[in-house]
Every structure is written in structure tokens, then in C-alpha cells.
Chain A
């Protein structure tokens, strides 16, 4: 069966992130100049403009900053089997926010500030998406 949903197209800035998820590791850029994490990844630090950065494995832990419950699938032929599903902005412990899905609990059980931890879903042989479930690792 073909996977009909959008798949990330890695670019020079994001390739290490998606290579990391493929290995079931949540990788974040950490600035070599000021030490701050950033997401989405980019060559220059938005804070100090340093091009020096290392990729560091994140804890995978965070909390729910905000979330939505998609009930009406758009487009229906792609998401009809998935609704209801939860999309959230996750505040990672490293101080950056990341969009993802909340899985492993009913949509109505998601609460503000709820602790979540990453899990890795191999959606195709080449692509792994980081999703989040209740709890901490």
C-alpha cells in the first residue's frame, strides 16, 4: 500500500534531523557560539549568527504547549481513516517548540502542560516521523 500523506523532503539544513529520526534519535542543532538550541534547523544561529553548530541528541521529553483535534479530514481521501487525530506544539525540554502528533491516548485526554515523550514511527522504508506519547523517558 502506498503512503499517501506528505513526506518530508530533507534539504541541506534539515537533512541531519531526518537522518536522526531514521535512526530513532531526535537530533537538535546546538549553537557553537552561544550554546542555544534551535528548531527548525538552519545554518546560522538566529541569536548570535554563528555558523558553528553541533547536532545533539535531545532528551525527547517535553510538554504540550497547545493542541488541536482534527475531526474533519482534509483531504478526506488522505486523512479520512485517521480522524480524529491530535496535532500539538510540543515545548521540548531543550527550550524549542516542535509540531507533531500526540498518540497513545484519546484526544479528549490531552491536557495543557501534559508531559510527553518522543516515539518513532517508520512510516515508509526511508522516512521516520517523531511523534509524542504521554509520559517521560
Chain B
């Protein structure tokens, strides 16, 4: 369990524009986001001694950013191989490194040309070796195809409906209409959702997140150091990473996962809330990993916002709207803001806790949840202002 409640902070945030075709290198995107996060905290890059990022073989390593920005003391550079599961893990790793004395002030980033470059949703290579010899020959290749299997299982077990999935998509879009940096700002109705074509049943087009070019970065440091920085610190109350038994041989593989109607969230909930010292009812705003609509339902259940199987009814009736009991994905999420692999959720949570979220600001937001992951493993943090 996380034992460092309120001792570490996010002191700065930065991001690029989110586009379909950046026309720029991933290194340039990463450098811009990192430079902005440093400037936001008022810390010159010369004073930063660590960089932690995650990638899916589609990005640049921390040493490249340190080189591009001429950072003379960025000696602790670590790149984690991961998908959305890792979006909070990199912040946790930065904290662990600082606590261990390996660094003092650490940039964390995710940078990708996810639409114009390597498209995560576009299918893996058409190879069938290792674990994929049991999946690819049957035309089971893309991540939407992988996760539709989980969503169907939730429908089988709990009777979850398309309209309930649609609530997540429509809510995210409503929030995105208020977010100037969101890629999809056209209003969307439930009728629009239901009318969107099936890509891989049970997923319609509007169950599936965007593909984006862009980068996000945050600056992590100790609460003591953050006191002297430019912006009010956002404290990490709790954090957890992991999943259940049989997480598989890669992020796609879940052949031996116990039950696909449940995901990683139920396995990290006790550590997350135990470390943070708060419970779901204390959360003012939740930025929940939404690569697909269903993943929000499973995380709400797994983290204890509602009972197992009740995620579908929980999201109905306006409960997750910006003015509801539990506002979610106030930036529009991966479904409507951008797909920066979940790290844009962390940026939004910090904005909300600083009271800087403009038209989409949740009133008096003091405690925020960020989550990352949809299948067998994932990470989450509880943040406070």
C-alpha cells in the first residue's frame, strides 16, 4: 500500500495541442510538453534530475528529451513499456525514485503521433507467434476487438445495455464541448450514439476512443520542494498499480483471466483507498480511463463507487454529468478530448484541483481520482489540492 500520503506533489503540467496530424516529430511533442510542465512549475530544466515516461514502442525515451532540451543533470531516465495501464504508474515511479534518493525533481510524460504515426487501434502486426498464435489466426487482432470481448461479458453477466454504454459517450462529449483543446466538440445525443455503426459488436463507433497526436507532461517533486514553486501543489494522497491473477502474456492476452466482466480495478481498490485514507464518496471529480465506454463501468464497480454489475445503472440519470453526484471525464476523456494514453486525465485532474478548468470547472473540487487501464492491469491515483 502507498505509504507516502501527501508527501509528494504534481507541481507543474504541460501539454501540446491535440491533433490528427501534428506534422512534427514525437521528440518535438515530448519536448514541448516537458518544457511547459517545467515552466508551469517555475523550475528551469537545468534543475530537473529525472525523467520517467511510458511507451508502446511508439515514442521517444527520456534521454532523448533530456538531450533535446539540454538538461545537464537529468541522469535518472526510465522508460516503462506499457499501455494505458501505465499512465499513473509513471507518476508513482517518479515518487518512488525520489523517495529512494535516486532523483529530486522528475518529469513524467507520454508523447505520441497516435493518429498520423503508429496507430494503436489499427491492429497489431499480422503475426501469429507466441501468444498471438492463438488469437491472430482467428481474426482477433485489434484492441477494440480485444476489449469488445470484455464488454460482451459484462452484458452477459449483468444485462448491461447499449444505452448505458451510450451514457458514458454522451457525457464525455458534453464535457468536451466546453473544452477548447478537445478534438471532438460537436454535440452528441443518445440518438447519435445509437445510430453510429457497429465496428466490432458490442462496440459502435462512438464506444471507441479517438486517435491523437500530442504529448502531456507533469513535474513531480516532494511536498517540501513544491512549496517554493510557482503553482499551488497538487498532492498525491494515494496510488496503486496492478491487477489480478493471470494478467496474461501481453496487454491483449486475457485467455486465462478469471472473469472478463471485472477488470484490474477491483484488485487495486483496497490499496488505493487504504493508502489515500479516503473513500469513493469523498471524490469530487473522477477522470476514468475510457479507451472504450465499458471500461468506465468496470472501474466504477471495481473501485467501489457502486456494486458489482451496477455500473450500467450508476451512470444513468445524470449522476456522472458535470453537475452530477460524480462528475467524470470533465475534459471529454479519451472518447472526446484526445487519446494521450490516459496521461491527459492527469493533466485535467490537476487543472480541476487548481480551479483552472474554465467553463468545465467542477465547483469546489478538492479531491480527484485518475485511473488508467481497462483490462488485466492498471493504475490509479487519488489527488487533492
Name A residues whose Cβ lies closer than 8 Å to a Cβ of B: 5-11, 14, 18, 39-40, 65-72, 74-75, 78-79, 82, 85, 87, 89, 97-101, 107, 112, 123, 127, 129, 131
Contact = CB atoms under 8 A, between A and B. Distances in A.
A6 B201 contact: no
B131 interface: yes
Given A11-B130, A40-B255, A112-B156, A68 B137 contact: no
A125 to B, nearest CB: 15
Contacts of A107: 201
Contacts of A11: 129-130, 133
Contact of B134 (A5, A78, A99): A99
Interface in B129-149: 129-142, 145, 148-149
A70 B200 contact: yes
Given A6-B128, A82-B139, 20 more contacts: A5-B139, A6-B132, A7-B128, A7-B137, A8-B137, A9-B128, A11-B133, A14-B133, A66-B149, A66-B152, A70-B145, A71-B201, A72-B197, A74-B122, A75-B123, A98-B134, A99-B140, A99-B255, A101-B138, A123-B137
B159 to A, nearest CB: 11
B100 interface: no
B345 interface: no
B81 interface: no
A89 B149 contact: yes
Given A66-B153, A68-B148, A112-B156, A97 B255 contact: yes
B199 interface: yes
Contact of A100 (B130, B133, B138): B138
Interface string B91-131: 00000000000000000000000000000001100111111
A115 to B, nearest CB: 15
Contacts of A74: 122-123, 141-142, 145
A74 B10 CA distance: 40
Contacts of B202: 68
Given A9-B128, A65-B153, A75-B123, A70 B139 contact: yes
B56 interface: no
B200 A67 contact: no
Contacts, number: 102
Interface residues of B, number: 35
Interface in B254-268: 255-256, 260
Contacts of B153: 65-66
A48 to B, nearest CB: 15
B129 A69 contact: no
Given A6-B128, A9-B129, A99 B135 contact: yes
Nearest to B156: A112
A127 B198 CA distance: 31
Interface in B309-335: none
Interface in B331-377: none
A8 B140 CA distance: 13
6 contacts: A11-B133, A40-B134, A67-B149, A68-B145, A98-B255, A100-B138
A40 B126 contact: no
A6 to B, nearest CB: 4
Nearest to B128: A6
Interface string B200-221: 1110000000000000000000
Contacts of B142: 74
Contacts of B135: 99
B217 to A, nearest CB: 31
Contacts of B150: 66
A121 to B, nearest CB: 10
